A = this chain, B = another copy of it.
């Protein structure tokens, strides 16, 4: 079953064609929520979604159940689904939890970093820079995630990494909402460089400390935004 002259895309260039409708709906809907295009608190109407995606309600409902499990939407029987809305306290809770999980995973992952991991991190840093030059903030976010998850994935702790990924997804809509300003790019780049160097020298504790600082800046911004929004 080799890729013949038919239009079958190669394994590398294949723009992931969802094999089932539920997966397509899931991917698209998750992207919409994470990007903040469906704002937190919005009610989700199954029929409307089904019509929007050109599918019936069944695959939509299954995708919604997954998103509920991921914490992106909330569900109440006979009320339906709403895009999850996090209070500031909850956002901070998520960041604390990230502290715990990412520190653990990084301690396991850093010693396992090999040359390919290093190369991938470098590539992500460069791609992040060029995306920033194009003012492609979405691309920046994507590359930023790739950069950080190289270390996490190296740990091989699939469950923990999956949890971390969900926590990132949870907070992403708020980054899109609040971080309209391109947050201090030089600071981020400098910190990434430091993290990268610590990874190259396989210094797990250094990486853990740098990641903590890195996150604390995000939390600081978050707090400031929240107070500004309240006042």
Contact = CB atoms under 8 A, between A and B. Distances in A.
A10 interface: no
B159 A97 contact: yes
Interface residues on A, range: 20 to 34
Contact of A69 (B66, B94, B104): B66
A70 B166 CA distance: 13
B97 A100 contact: no
Given A61-B58, A159-B71, A19 B77 contact: yes
A102 to B, nearest CB: 11
Given A69-B70, A101-B100, A20 B61 contact: no
Which of A70, A78, A97 gathers most chain B CB within 10 Å? A97
A44 B78 CA distance: 27
Interface in A151-175: 157-160, 163, 167
Number of copies of this protein chain within its complex: 2
A93 B104 CA distance: 12
Contacts of A66: 65, 68-69
B160 A77 contact: no
Given A93-B159, A94-B159, A97-B157, 17 more contacts: A20-B77, A20-B78, A23-B77, A58-B58, A62-B62, A62-B65, A65-B69, A66-B68, A66-B69, A71-B159, A93-B157, A93-B158, A97-B104, A97-B159, A101-B101, A159-B167, A163-B163
26 contacts: A20-B78, A58-B58, A58-B61, A61-B62, A62-B62, A62-B65, A65-B66, A65-B69, A66-B68, A69-B69, A69-B70, A71-B159, A90-B159, A93-B157, A93-B158, A94-B159, A97-B104, A97-B157, A97-B160, A100-B100, A100-B101, A100-B104, A100-B160, A101-B101, A159-B167, A163-B163
Name the 6 nearest CB pairs between A and B, nearest first. A69-B69, A65-B65, A19-B77, A100-B104, A20-B77, A62-B65
